[in-house]
Every structure is written in C-alpha cells, then in structure tokens.
Structure 1
C-alpha cells in the first residue's frame, strides 16, 4: 500500500501527458494556419482522433513490451534489428528538425524586442542558430538542471494558450471569423490536407506517454486512459485557442504575425500585456529547446550505447553530459537551419514542420506495426487483441494520410534520408550477426 501511494495517479499522468505534448508546439500554429484560413481548423478533428489512436497503441506496446528502446524496440519486434536503427535514426533527425522549428518560433516572439531579427532571412537565421547553440552549451552542465528548468518554463506557453481558450470568447467576433474562414477559396479536402502536418506537429511527443508506466498505479488501466485523456485535453485547448484567435485578429494580420498569441493579447488588452505574453513565450521556447536539445543528445547516446550510432555520441563527461554528441547535434541543426532559410518565420516554420512530420511518421508506422507481434508474444487475450487491432487500423490510416498530406517535397526528402539510413546500417550490420562458422572440409 505504501509503495502504491508513491506512484503516479491517473490524474497526475494525464496532466503530464498533456503538458509534455503542448510545450512550444502551438505558439506559431495560428499564423501558419491563418494562411489557409479558418477552414484549416477542421483538420484538428482528424488529427485528434488519429493522435489518440496512436497514443493508445503506444501505451499498449509499452505495457506488453517493457524492454528499453521505446519506438525503436517496438519496431525491432516486427521488423528486426535494422528497424531499430532506422527508427532511431529517423526519430533523431525528427528531433533535430523540430528543435530548429522551436528556435524559429522563439525568434519570432523575440522580434518585437529586437526588430533586427525580423528584418530578413539572414537575421532570422542568425537568431535561430544563436538560440540553438545557447541551449546546446547550457546543457554541458548535465541533466540535473535541464529537467527542472523545462518543468517551469513550459507553463509560459500553457498558461496564455489555455487562458485564451477560456477568456478569449469575450472578444470573439463572428464577422472576423467568417471573413477568415476560407480566404483562398480552397476545397475543404485540400485545406484539411494542407493543414494536417501543422496540427500533427502540435501532437508530436505523444509517443513518450507510455515511458512512465513503471511509476504509475495500475499501469494496464491507467496508462492507456492517460494517453487518451491527455491527448484529448491537449486537443480541446488547441482547437479552442486557434479558433478564438481567428475570431479576434483579422486573418491577413494573423497570417503575417511572427508572434500570434502576443498579437491577440495585445488586441484584447493592451500592447504591454502583449509584450508580457511575448516574454513568456520566449521563456517557454528557450526552456523547451533546452530540454529537447538534451533529449536529442540522449537519443543519440542511447543508440551509440547499443552500437547503432558512432561511439563518439556515447562519450560523457564527469557530469554525465555527452558534450561531443551535443556539439555534433548543434552543427547538424545549424546546417538544417541554413538549408531552409527564408525571410518569413512562418514560411520557414512550415517547411520544417512538414519534414519533421514525415521523419516522425515513418517510425510511427514501423513501431505501431510491432504491436501485433508484441501481443502475440505476450499471449494477450483475444478480446483485447481484437480491440487493439481496430484502434491500430485507425492509427495506421491516419499515419498514412498524414504522410500523404505532408506533400511530395517533404516525403521525397524523408525517403532520401531513409535511403541513406539503409546504407549507414549496412556498414554496421555485421555487428549484429553471429560470426560465420567455418565451412566443413571437403571430403
């Protein structure tokens, strides 16, 4: 009983899941979605259902396959050792791409304080790379502080965004929302398809929901429920906040804003409140980026420890910080920021979000398909198998649709990256096979 009291409740885990997902993923979305109009809000419904299905399936994988490795381990269950490498490789790249997008978000919110950052492509690039290296170097001190900072700074986004979902309706104007509904006269299917990668971006990270099962009361019941409720809670906040903002700020202004939540609070109250929201958003982005930089380096370290990545990623200092790996990650992110350079923060953000979605969705597909083998090995009862297969099909259908919706450029880029991944694995594959036995002597 004493041991149970020390474990996390369903409410605690649900809150943790929602907070982990929300982070800094939402703060640039209103501007990106405003370029398509309010009709893009319909994609939230599809993404919320798909994301809950994915989160539930990952929870089931975690319950019946408690080995370390997360998505990579689930992929290996169905597709072998090469799938472990490719899943780790693509997820690593997805985190790196996502970090650059978070950096761009932070620079967008810094622009009103430092107008030079918004004066062109080069200043935006310089600001993004500066934040990438600032948060990289800040992690050299080890993990002891990183988690604590992130746990506090994330509320800099959650409080304004969740607050807008509640109080923003007092300023909501139906005529402003109507004018913003479909300014480009897109077909509804096209508008939904183009905004699916944007809405999926806000839910990336749901795969981490099952990682805390050892610290939860009654994990077989509470982990799947927390995944569903946490994802649904985040979805409600996302839908309400992005809907109300399009009924307050005129669409053309919102589409060109580098700090949409600051803009709406400035319009609701006054410019000073807008600046406070901007400062909170910058704080949240920097804290989030600090945590994700550490996660990126740890992902590479875990793969290196298993012989999948170069050993240099596994070297740590006395403070348990993989500094060399962090520096390599910083260089990689700098090159990514350079390759997507654009004078428009929202445009650059959109390019990265599409590519991040693709490099995340492929590991989703390989890991989710592992659930079938995992349940077979765990001798799961037929009723649970039947229920899980239905949810799995929903998760898979959404993943395939999201891949398609990411666009040919992002999918093409993802496929090229994956093709290189197979080559890289070819060089290390011999580490994971038994040494060939000597050929028998000829008679």
Structure 2
C-alpha cells in the first residue's frame, strides 16, 4: 500500500477532529446555561465564531511552525524560551484544573444515577476520591486506561447527537421561549456570563492540528478539517443544549445535576434516562483515566527538556511518572477543597472559569507569535494578512472571554501565572548556559540577559 493511500482524507480528519473536541465538557452545560436562559444562544454564536478564528490560526501555526512542542513551540517564536515555558506551564495547569471539573461532572451525574443527596463536603470528598482512583489506576502505565477513554467517550457523543436529532419530537417552542431570560438580566451581562462556560466545550481545539502528518495534502486539508470539525461541534453543541431547553422547563433544568439524563427520561422513560446517565458517568471516568496520565506526561515531557523542575521527569522503568502524578494529584485535591460550594453547579462553574482563564494564556501567546511564524516561513505579505486578521479576531475574543470569566477566576489565574514565573527561576539557568555555549561557538550571536 502506498503512503498516500494509508493517509486520511479530509472527511476522515474532519470527523476525527470533531470527535476529539466533543467530550465530557458538554454534559453539564444545559444546566449551567439554564441559569442564564436561552439568551445564551448568543454566547454560543460568539464563542463559535471565536473558536473558528482560533482553530484556523492554530491550523496555520501547525503547518508553518518548525519548532516542536505545540503551543510552547509557537510561543517561542515571539517570546523565546521563557514564552515556551509559560505556554507549557499554563496549558499543563489548565489540564490539571480541567480534570477536577470532569470529576465534579461525574459526581453530579452519579448522584442522580444513585438517587443520592450529598452535602457540599460529601460532593468534594467524592470528587477527590475519583481523582485519587483514576490517578492510582495509571501507576502501571496508560496502555489500558488510554484505550478505555477512546471507547467510553461515545457514552457522551451518542446521547448528545441523539438528542440533537430526536429531541425535536419533544421540543416545545413555548418552553424554550419562557426560558429566554429568566432573571431579566441586561443583554450584554447575560451574554457575557456564559461566554467562558461555552468556551469550555471547545477547549482542546488546538490539538486538532496534531494529525497533519497523517493526512493527504495537509496544506489544504488540515485547515478545512479543523474548521469543519469546529463548525460541526458547534452545531451539535448549540442544537443539543437548546433542544433540551425546549424539552425541560427552565427552573427544573437549572437545578439538575444530570441534564442529559433528565431529558431522556422525559423523552422516553426514567429507565432510558438512567441508562444515559450511567453512560455519561462511565464516559467521565474513562476520560479522567486518560487525562490524568496525559497531564502527568505533559509535565514530564516539559521537564525532560528543562522547562519544568526535574522532579516531574522521575519515572518508573515502564516510563510512568508516578512522582509527578502524586504532585499533580495534591494540587487537584487542594483545588477541590478551595472551590467547595453549596451547589455542585457552582463548584463546577468556579473550576471551569479558572481552567478557561489559564488555558487562554497560551492561546493569546500563540496568536501573537503567528505574525513572526509567518515571516520566518516566508509567507507572502498578501497571504499573511488574512491569517493575521483572523488571529487578531481570535485574540479579541480571547480577551473578551478572559474578562467574562469574572474577577475571582482572573485573580486566581493571575496568582498561578506569577507562581509559574517564580518556578521558571529554578530552570532558567539551563537555557542561559546553552546560550553561553552557543555564543562561545559563534561570537556573533548576542546573549540575552
């Protein structure tokens, strides 16, 4: 078989991109958006536009960059080694935070599945229990746990797609309209309050460019697949959340810890609703299994090249970074304790806002670096102009999402970023030594202070 025949076509990559993007991030959103109302439709439209701009810009970064390391490599073009470090640090930190949100989601659906009522402390303890179990399960390596996540993600995708298609049979326009703006909030604050929660569903879109070597004609097909996958995901997100808003009365939906299970209970029967709820619990746990290992590997790979403190690169003979896993688990436990709230949905929102704020840092850095990446790649100015305009649109959206995340998320995110600069002091000497060695070999090179 020839190499070209073994590669994916544009349709296959588009589907893969959409599947990779869709996951447990969507399954609590109908309840969170119900707190705002169906006016959040405008939030979806704005976020879909911003995500498309980000997706296209990341596709261009992936095609033109010659530095390894994803967003860290992109950021290095404009911000040097310190920029590479900060992009990796904030991205890794956002994944650590996101895993707490996934665990909270699993607990929420679990309480409905088992008809349990938990106090805030009990919710927190069950969240911590899931984080511990999924971390320990990876101590032997990710060979099995990684495969589990690939299968269990369909426990989310299939119900979400099903409600998007079949839910219209139970859709009531009057129920949807009654939920438009239940708290009579002014238009701009209402739309802004759900920007970060809608962006949460799109996080990970930057990883869609990782398969450029496995697709035919990547220069043409990768941007098409990334945009197509993002548009497809956006359509499913918007339809599924709004269909549920037209099936379940707003006051009931806003209080639900398992909105998709509730919708299927109304559409078919409580038994079907319980099956969907169980599928989503399994999907969350499967996702968490894979991501707990992935996060530790992100920190290990960065430590291997000198960006993170050496403790993160300690690994067993099978390559499992158990020490790093335990450190990251401790951070997740602390975050779970810090965000205890009277309502599970409130704790979920706090964690999601913090994850979004942290993840937007490497997004903004990558957008800024795209100008330099195109110049170094020799892209003609007239072709570079369109990409630069799209990157600026993505940047404006990113700052709007940062502002909309709220003061608490910005404050905590800022503290974590400053902590990151402090940690960089422990590893930056290595890069200075490398620069000195390069200067000795080539005196024409200037040293950066």
Matched, 1:350 2:349: yes
Q: Choose 311-320 or 62-71, whichever is displaced more.
A: 311-320
Q: Choose 73-82 or 105-114, whichever is displaced more.
A: 105-114
Q: Deviations over 1:279-330 (max 9, x none)?
A: 1101110111112112211110111011111222112223222111111111
> Contact 2:87/2:362 (CA < 8 Å) preserved in 1?
yes
Please give the residue correspondences for 1:13-412 in structure 2 after superposition, counting only pairs within 5 Å. 13-116=13-116, 118-412=117-411
* Gaps in structure 2 of 5+ consecutive residues: 441-449
Helix, strand or coil for the counterpart of 1:203? coil
Cα offset, 1:141, TM superposition: 2.3
Helix, strand or coil for the counterpart of 1:285? helix
Q: Deviations over 1:260-289 (max 9, x none)?
A: 000010011111001000111011101111
**What TM-score, normalized by structure 1, do the two folds share?**
0.96
Distance 2:114 2:158 in 1: 24
Cα offset, 1:188, TM superposition: 1.5
Q: Which residue does 2:415 correspond to in 1?
A: 416
> Contact 2:139/2:322 (CA < 8 Å) preserved in 1?
yes
Cα offset, 1:122, TM superposition: 1.3
Distance 2:427 2:321 in 1: 22
> Contact 1:143/1:320 (CA < 8 Å) preserved in 2?
no
Q: Which residue does 2:424 correspond to in 1?
A: 425
Distance 1:202 1:273 in 2: 25
Helix, strand or coil for the counterpart of 2:216? coil
The RMSD of aligned alpha carbons is 1.5
> Contact 2:308/2:424 (CA < 8 Å) preserved in 1?
no
> Contact 2:360/2:402 (CA < 8 Å) preserved in 1?
yes
Distance 1:338 1:369 in 2: 35
Q: Deviations over 1:155-202 (max 9, x none)?
A: 000000011001101101111111111010011111110000000000
Distance 1:254 1:67 in 2: 46
Distance 1:112 1:256 in 2: 12
Q: Which residue does 1:441 correspond to in 2?
A: none
**What TM-score, normalized by structure 2, do the two folds share?**
0.95
- Identify if the C-alpha distance between structure 1 residues 66 and 144 changes in structure 2 by more than 3 Å, giving closer, same or farther: farther
Q: Deviations over 1:398-418 (max 9, x none)?
A: 111111111111111111111
Cα offset, 1:227, TM superposition: 0.7
Helix, strand or coil for the counterpart of 1:25? helix
> Contact 2:38/2:181 (CA < 8 Å) preserved in 1?
yes
> Contact 1:104/1:349 (CA < 8 Å) preserved in 2?
yes
Q: Deviations over 1:56-84 (max 9, x none)?
A: 11111111114321001111110111111
> Contact 1:51/1:395 (CA < 8 Å) preserved in 2?
yes
Cα offset, 1:124, TM superposition: 0.6
Count of residues in Structure 1 that have an aligned counterpart in Structure 2: 437
Distance 2:337 2:304 in 1: 30
> Contact 2:92/2:299 (CA < 8 Å) preserved in 1?
yes
Q: Choose 324-333 or 269-278, whichever is displaced more.
A: 324-333
Cα offset, 1:150, TM superposition: 1.3
Q: Choose 349-358 or 60-69, whichever is displaced more.
A: 60-69
Cα offset, 1:345, TM superposition: 1.3
Cα offset, 1:115, TM superposition: 4.0
Q: Which residue does 2:444 correspond to in 1?
A: none
Cα offset, 1:129, TM superposition: 0.9
* Gaps in structure 1 of 5+ consecutive residues: 439-443
Helix, strand or coil for the counterpart of 2:171? coil
Q: Deviations over 1:383-434 (max 9, x none)?
A: 3201211211111111111111111111111111111211221232211113
